[in-house]
Structure 1
Amino acid sequence: MDTIIFDVDDTLYDQAQSFKNTVKQMIQESFTDEELDKLYIASRKHSDALFDKSEAGEITLLDMQIHRITAACHEFGIPMTREQAIEFQEAYVAEQQKITLFDEVVELLDALYLEDKQLAVLTNGEDKHQSMKIKQLDLEKWIPKEHHFISGAIGYAKPKQEAFQIIEKKLQLDKGKTVYIGDSFDNDIVGAKQAGWNAVWMNHRKRSLPTTTIKPDKTVYNAKELLDVFRHDYSIVK
């Protein structure tokens, strides 16, 4: 592989941890780890359902953020007002400013950088918010800023093919020697495979494989397995 492109959220770091820390701070309920996982998954479901409307400007980013936590809490019988939801989002953003890369991802990026591989990120989300995460993760150490592709900045979100085509043109990709790594089957794997790229599914949430003709080239369940794929299957990390 000559070019390796990464999703950001829940691929390079554990997005759920920031959410769980915020819940513990802001919601006066006692949760088991399993309940926190379910609440997180519910919030992502509601976020994904409104993402296209947010990207299109049909609703504000703040309204989408308010809805995802209030709707998730409603599923679990937890009351939350709009004002409380805004406070939750502010605390969540503060927690996201503490995110760190998985240890094995650091090792992988170091190795790929030393081998002079072309690296990039492609992430869905609002430009300023995703740029904040990229800065916090210190990704410019390995990936130049001109290789940061954020849907809010480029005008197209995964899995739309235009998002992948913009990168192909900018980086002059050889599709057969390009691999994309992401956690969302619908956005990342479907989008990358339809673009003709190789795709690795970072399935550390252990989601079921959807019934579809599209399959990832590799599936990994944690960052260590991701590193092992590049060592053993792609043989480009020593």
Structure 2
Amino acid sequence: MNSIIFDVDDTMYDQALSFHHTFRQLVEDSYTYEEIDQIYRTSRKYSEILFDQSERGEISVKEWLTGRIMKACEDFGIPMDVVKAEKFDQVYKQEQNKIELFPEIEELFTRLKKQDKQLAILTNGEEKHQSMKIKQLQLEKWIPKENIFISGTYSVAKPKKEIFDIVASKLGCQPDQTVYIGDSYEKDIVGAKQAGWQAIWMNHRNRTIPLNSPYQPDIEVHNAEELLHYFSE
């Protein structure tokens, strides 16, 4: 593969850590890691649903960001009103200022750059917020700014084929020589396969593919170490 394109959230770093820290600060410190992780996974499920609604203009970005934690807490019988949800989102973003790359991802970027591979990023989200994460992770050490694509900039998001086509056009890459790496089956794997790209599923949350789905990842890995090993073979 000549072009290797990465998702950011929960692919390059552990997104759950920021959630865990925020939850312990603002909601409850006595929950176990496993209990908070269940709430985190539920919030991610609602985040995907509400993000799509915000993209269609059915709800505001604020309603997406606050709604995901409110709905997750509701499922677990945890009180969470709009005011507290807004505070949660603020602290969650502050915690994301502390995110760090998986060490294996950093090593992978260094190896691929030495091999003269074309590296790029395609991530969903608001331009300002995603740019903050990209800066915190120091991704421009390996990936040029013009190879960084944030859905909020283009008003179209994964898994829509249009955003993948925009990336391919701007990078000048051929679909059969392009691989996309991401953690979300629905957004990353489905989107990449619809665009004719190869797809590697960074499935470190051990999710399952929906029944009767026509799309399958070309490779499935369960942690950053496995991903590094795959590219080292």
TM-score by length of 2: 0.97
Alignment of 1:53-68 (within 5 A): 53-68=53-68
1:115-134 equivalent positions in 2, closer than 5 A = 115-134=115-134
What is the alpha-carbon distance in structure 2 between the residues aligned to residue 71 and residue 217 of structure 1?
33
Distance 2:89 2:149 in 1: 24
Q: Cα deviations across residues 92-118 of structure 1 (Å, max 9, x unaligned)? A: 010000000000000000111111110
**Equivalent pairs: percent with the same residue?**
57
Partner in structure 1 of residue 157 of structure 2: 157
- Aligned partner of 2:75: which letter? E
Q: Which amino acid aligns with 1:46?
A: Y
The normalised TM-score by structure 1 is 0.95
- 1:235 corresponds in structure 2 to none
Superposed CA deviations along residues 144-194 of structure 1, whole A, max 9, x for unmatched, are 111111110022101101001001110111211111000011111111111
Question: In the TM superposition, what are the counterparts of 1:14-163 in structure 2 within 5 Å?
Answer: 14-163=14-163
Per the alignment, residue 197 of structure 1 pairs with 197
Is the 1:121–1:149 Cα contact (8 Å) retained in structure 2?
A: yes
Q: Distance in 1 between matches of 2:148 and 2:56?
A: 21
Give, in angstroms, the shift of residue 57 of structure 1: 3.7
CA drift of 1:44 comes to: 0.8
Please give the alpha-carbon distance, in whole angstroms, between the structure 2 residues aligned to 1:202 and 1:210: 16
Deviation (angstroms), 1:66: 1.1
Determine the structure 2 residue equivalent to 1:209. Answer: 209
Which residue matches 2:228?
Answer: 227
Unmatched 5+ residue regions in structure 2?
Answer: none
Give the Cα separation in 2 of the matches to 1:64 and 1:209.
25
Q: Distance in 1 between matches of 2:105 and 2:8?
A: 11
Q: Distance in 1 between matches of 2:25 and 2:66?
A: 17
Equivalent position SS for 1:58: coil
Aligned length: 232
What is the alpha-carbon distance in structure 2 between the residues aligned to residue 84 and residue 191 of structure 1? Answer: 34
Give the unaligned 5+ runs of structure 1.
233-238
Structure 1 distance, partners of 2:28, 2:146, is 43
Q: Residues of 1 paired with 2:34 and 2:157: CA distance? A: 31
Runs of 4+ in 1 over 4 A off after TM superposition: none
Q: Distance in 2 between matches of 1:196 and 1:167?
A: 13
Q: Is the 8 A contact 1:55 1:152 kept in 2?
A: no
The amino acid that maps onto 1:172 is G
Q: Distance in 2 between matches of 1:34 and 1:110?
A: 33
Aligned to 1:175: 175
